[in-house]
């Protein structure tokens, strides 16, 4: 399964989702291996993970154009590897190679839209769009949908994930209902991610929220998200599911 995590708006939970989804897949043995690719030049995903041995490992720029590129194993998480961030992005779309690095590849993209974003969305099995349940979140969804139409990208690859969600807030329930009405249960994921200080804490410790606070609601929610997305995996990847 190749997943691109994308939203043109920053600060919506893209990097947090990429990092914790990877750990949730491995925790439940839904994936034989997961590679994270940090394609945001800010390098927040790289910073959230323990220091890796990069001596013989490639960065994200090398992964995009070299079929022989290999990621660095992430210490303490068997099966997880990383193509670290590079300040040489983006590369022209024509140069992209993006080899199959593992049964699951999760790409954390930079906010905004570019030729690189278009190429990644064409390559992906699913484009996961985390968003906050507010007016700006709805606006970002509409803009992303327009971009997909403009570039002839398949809309059925889109999946929307509500982050920092609270079922007690009328606004959040309203946004969820609007998205459900517009996209249906297939594209609006049935899992929501709560707002929790535990997520911020875990990033500072270089751990997933599952390892840092396994009892918190967010840990259970990311485990549920992994199960939902594993159910969407292409049939040719089923043999990689333990």
Each residue's pLDDT tens digit, 161-198: 999 999 899 999 999 999 999 988 889 999 999 989 99
CA neighbor of 102 nearest in space, from 240, 5, 230, 235: 240
Tell me the domain boundaries of the chain. 2-231
Q: From residue 77, how far is each of 25, 27, 158, 210, 230 by CA, in Å?
A: 12, 9, 29, 12, 19
As a whole number of angstroms, the distance between CA 219 and CA 5 comes to 19
Helix (H) or strand (E) segment spanning residue 108: strand 104-109
How many residues in the chain? 242
pLDDT surpassing 80 at residue 127: yes
pLDDT score for 241: 33
- pLDDT at position 239: 35
> Alpha carbon 5 to chain centroid distance?
4
pLDDT of residue 236: 44
pLDDT of residue 56: 67
At 159, is the pLDDT very low, low, confident or very high (cuts 50, 70, 90)? Answer: very high
Euclidean distance between CA atoms 106 and 48, whole angstroms: 15
Q: What is the mean pLDDT of residues 27-32?
A: 93
The CATH number assigned to the domain with range 2-231 reads: 3.40.50.300
DSSP structure string for 128-163: EEEE-SSHHHHHHHHHHHHHHHHTT--GGGEEEEEE
More confident residue, 184 or 51: 184
Please, which pLDDT band fits residue 237 given cuts at 50, 70 and 90?
very low
Tell me the percentage of the chain whose pLDDT exceeds 90: 66
At residue 54, does pLDDT exceed 80?
no
Peptide bond into 137 cis (omega under 30): no
Residue 71 has pLDDT above 50, yes or no: yes
d(CA 44, CA 33): 21
């Amino acid at each position: 399964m190749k997943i691109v995590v994308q939203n043109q708006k920053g600060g919506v939970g893209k990097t947090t989702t990429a990092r914790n989804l990877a750990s949730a897949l491995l925790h439940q043995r839904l994936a034989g291996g997961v590679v994270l690719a940090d394609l945001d030049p800010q390098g927040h995903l790289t910073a959230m993970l323990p220091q890796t041995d990069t001596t013989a490992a490639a960065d994200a720029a090398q992964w995009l154009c070299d079929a022989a590129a290999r990621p660095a194993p992430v210490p303490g998480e068997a099966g997880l590897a990383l193509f670290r961030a590079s300040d040489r992005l983006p590369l022209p779309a024509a140069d992209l190679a993006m080899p199959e690095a593992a049964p699951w590849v999760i790409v954390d993209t930079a906010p905004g839209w570019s030729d690189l974003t278009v190429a990644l969305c064409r390559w992906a099995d699913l484009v996961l769009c985390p968003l906050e349940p507010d007016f700006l979140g709805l606006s970002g969804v509409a803009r992303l949908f327009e971009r997909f139409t403009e570039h002839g990208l398949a809309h059925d690859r889109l999946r929307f994930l509500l982050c920092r969600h609270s079922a007690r807030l009328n606004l959040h329930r309203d946004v969820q209902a609007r998205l459900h009405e517009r996209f249906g249960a297939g594209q609006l994921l049935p899992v929501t991610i709560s707002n929790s200080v535990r997520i911020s804490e875990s990033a500072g410790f270089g751990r997933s929220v599952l390892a840092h606070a396994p009892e918190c609601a967010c840990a259970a929610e990311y485990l549920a998200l992994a199960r939902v997305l594993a159910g969407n995996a292409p049939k040719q990847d089923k043999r990689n599911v333990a």
